[in-house]
Amino acid sequence: MLETVKDLLQEVKEFSPNSEEEVEVFRLKFLGKKGKMNELFIAFKNIPNESKKEFGQAINMLKQNAQEKVEEFKGSFEAEEKRKQIDFTRPIALNNLGSRHPISLIKDQIIDIFNRIGFSISEGPEIEDDWHNFSALNLPEEHPARDMQDTFFIQTDPDLLLRTHTSSVQVRHMNNNKPPIRTLSPGRVYRNEAISARAHCIFHQVEGLYIDENVSFADLKQALLYFAKEMFGEKTKIRLRPSYFPFTEPSAEVDVSCNICSSKGCNVCKYTGYLEILGCGMVDPNVLENCGIDSNKYSGYAFGMGIERIAMLKYGINDLRLFFENDVRFLKQFSSL
Same domain for 65 and 111? no
pLDDT (tens digit per residue) in 114-172: 999 999 999 999 999 999 999 999 888 877 766 666 888 888 887 899 999 999 999 99
Domain-embedded: residue 192: yes
Using the predicted structure, report yes or no on whether residue 181 has a pLDDT greater than 70: yes
Most confident of 37-46, 90-99, 166-175, 196-205: 166-175
Looking at residue 128, its pLDDT comes to 94
CA 239/CA 78 separation, integer angstroms: 67
Q: How many domains does the chain have?
A: 2
Higher pLDDT: 197 or 107? It is 107
Domain-embedded: residue 91: no
Confidence band for 328, pLDDT divided at 50, 70 and 90: confident
Same domain for 22 and 150? no
pLDDT (tens digit per residue) in 91-120: 876 666 677 899 999 999 999 999 999 999
Q: Mean per-residue pLDDT for 201-216? A: 96
Same domain for 59 and 135? no
Looking at residue 285, its pLDDT comes to 96
Same domain for 21 and 114? no
pLDDT (tens digit per residue) in 46-74: 788 877 788 788 888 888 888 888 888 77
Q: Which of 58, 85, 112 is the last residue of a domain?
A: 85
Same domain for 157 and 269? yes
Same domain for 18 and 142? no
- The parent domain of residue 206 ranges over 102-334
Domain-embedded: residue 90: no
3-state secondary structure the chain: CHHHHHHHHHHHHHCCCCCHHHHHHHHHHHHCCCCHHHHHHHHHHHCCHHHHHHHHHHHHHHHHHHHHHHHHHCCHHHHHHHHHHCCCCCCCCCCCCCCCCHHHHHHHHHHHHHHCCCCEECCCCCEEEHHHHCHHHCCCCCCHHHHHCCCCECCCCCCEEECCCCHHHHHHHHHHCCCCEEEEEEEEEECCCCCCCCCCCEEEEEEEEEEECCCCHHHHHHHHHHHHHHHHCCCCCEEEEEEEECCEEEEEEEEEECCCCCCCCCCCCCCCCEEEEEEEEEECHHHHHHCCCCCCCCEEEEEEEEHHHHHHHHHCCCCHHHHCCCCHHHHHHHCCC
Higher pLDDT: 36 or 117? It is 117
% of the chain surpassing 90 pLDDT: 45
Q: Mean per-residue pLDDT for 169-184? A: 96
Q: Mean per-residue pLDDT for 229-239? A: 92
Domain-embedded: residue 95: no
CA 52 to centroid of chain Cα atoms: 61
pLDDT (tens digit per residue) in 12-27: 888 888 887 888 888 8
Domain-embedded: residue 92: no
Same domain for 50 and 166? no
Same domain for 6 and 117? no
Query: Which amino acid is located at 25 in the chain?
Result: V
Q: Which of 85, 118, 136 is the last residue of a domain?
A: 85
Using the predicted structure, report yes or no on whether residue 178 has a pLDDT greater than 90: yes
Indicate whether this model's pTM tops 0.85: no
Same domain for 248 and 305? yes
pLDDT (tens digit per residue) in 239-265: 999 999 999 999 999 999 887 777 787
Q: Which of 41, 56, 85 is the last residue of a domain?
A: 85
Same domain for 74 and 146? no
Looking at residue 148, its pLDDT comes to 61
CATH number at residue 126: 3.30.930.10
In 3D, which of 216, 223, 217 has the Cα closest to residue 119? 223
Domain-embedded: residue 58: yes
Same domain for 124 and 179? yes
Q: Mean per-residue pLDDT for 290-317? A: 93
Confidence band for 189, pLDDT divided at 50, 70 and 90: very high
Domain-embedded: residue 176: yes
Domain-embedded: residue 57: yes
Least confident of 85-94, 242-251, 281-290, 311-320: 85-94
Same domain for 111 and 248? yes
**pLDDT, mean over the chain:** 87
Using the predicted structure, report yes or no on whether residue 226 has a pLDDT greater than 70: yes
